Each structure stands twice: as C-alpha cells, then as structure tokens.
Chain A
Amino acid sequence: MGEEAWSVAREAEEERRRNLEHNAKVLRLFAELAARDDQSYWQAYLNFINSFYRHLRRRLDEDSLFRETYLRVLAERARRPRKDPPGG
C-alpha cells in the first residue's frame, strides 16, 4: 500500500475512534436517563423503535426483493465462522 493510501486509512481509523468515543459519551447519558426511568427519554425510545419495526414490516410485506435479499443475508450469516470464548 502506498503512503497516500496509508494516510487515508490512518485518517479513517482516527475518525472511527473519535466517533466511538463520542458515541460512548452519548450512550452513557442515555443509559443514565433510562436508568432513572425518565419518561421523555422512554417516549423518544418507543417512538424510534416502534417506527422502525412498523416501517420494516411494511417493506417486508410490500417488497419481495427486500424480503429475498434479507433471506440471502441470513443464509450468509449462518455460514460465518464464529469464535469461541476462552474457557468456554
């Protein structure tokens, strides 16, 4: 790999780490709201989850290509090698 490609890869990795650090901070705050049973947080959570699964069900009902593609993804995943934890 050339120097330019290494530089791009390094930059992408740094960006990934920055995103991960940022996400961890946000997740900590959300987890604290959930742990306190903050009702505004729960409402937003329910809106997000319910909207997603309603949309998904609609797509699965209406779009045979979407459904077939997902079944192919599942078949691929079933062939994915899995690592075993130590001392398992």
Chain B
Amino acid sequence: MIVVEREPSELDRLVLEFVRCLGLDYVIVAGYVAILLGRARTTDDIDIIVDAASGAEVAAGVARCGFKPLTLDNNLDYEFRHASVRFFKPPAVLPNFEVKPPRSFYQRHALARRVAVSVGGEILHISPLELQIAYKLWLGSDKDFEDAVFIYSFARSRGILNGEELEAWARRLGVSLERLRRSVGEI
C-alpha cells in the first residue's frame, strides 16, 4: 500500500465519496493517479474502470449519494458497453467521473493488480504505477509525458518502482524509456 501523509483535498473527498457509493471493484487510471500522488495540477474528469455488468448497475450505486449520469437513462447501458458514462454531482458538472468497464488487456490488468493508496486514512485503488507510466508515454502528449515523469520520480524516490516491470510494459506498448530517464537525470 502507498501511504500519502496529507489530508484529502476537496477533489480527493469527491472521489472517495464516489467510489464508496459505487460499491463495486474499481481502479482509477490516467491523470488523477498523478494528482493523488502529489502532482499539483487539476483535471475535469476522473477515469475509473469498474467491474460492473451494466451502466445501470453503476448508476444505481452512485445515485445513493446523489451522483447523476450525464446521459439519458435509455442510453446508459449502450454507452457503458461501447464507450463510457460520465457521472456528476449536481449542481456541479465539474469535475466528473468517466466510468467504463475493462475492455483492453491493460484495463483488465490494472483492475486485477490495482494498488491501494491511503490518503487521510481512506483507501483509493489505482493502476499499477509501472503500467501507468508506460501507458502515459504511449499516449505521448506533453501533459501525459509530464504525468509519467511525476509518477516515475515519485515511485523511484519511494523505492517502490519495479524497473523490470516498467521495461516489460514499455516493450509491450512499443515505447522507449530513454527520454523519461534523461528527463529525470538518470542518463
């Protein structure tokens, strides 16, 4: 488990409430992972992979806490199966939660091997850091590269980075780690 010794931010509190109400196995991926670990940036959506049979199942769980889907009820299951469904807590549409089932090998792995993070004594589950770093490099935008740098540096400083696993993900995704390592002064 990764323990972060700070109080939860307002963003963390919203995420904690959402996953508590969800009541299903989930894993958080993408930008919020870097934010949770300490990157001071904002996001307008939190990406969550959920082990659910349907969009209606997700909607029923989070509705208990007042979260609503940003889609019509009739489209919930179709959008969940084929794309994603966004949920928000009225009146604020921002930030919102982009929820989808595990479709790719990477998403299934992230869900199966999720990592617990304790913040303010509460637990959130995130993708394995090595997968997240390699995936961010594969996405390739400046923002994603910076997230990769942050997560990599955090994990290395904590002594929790599995170098072999990172290299294996990088090979599978066809990305080089050289630029990342040069950026953090390793080579």
Contacts and interface: CB of A to CB of B under 8 A. Distances in A.
Interface string A60-88: 11000001001100100010000011111
Interface of B: 4-7, 9-11, 35, 37-40, 42, 44, 70, 83, 86, 91-96, 104-106, 135, 138, 142, 145-146, 149-155, 157-158, 172-174, 183-185
Contacts of A42: 5-6, 38
Nearest to A42: B6
B106 A88 contact: yes
Given A27-B149, A31-B39, A60-B93, A54 B106 contact: no
A83 to B, nearest CB: 8
A34 interface: yes
Interface of A: 16, 20-21, 23-25, 27-28, 30-37, 39, 41-42, 44-46, 48-50, 52-54, 56-57, 60-61, 67, 70-71, 74, 78, 84-88
A48 B135 contact: no
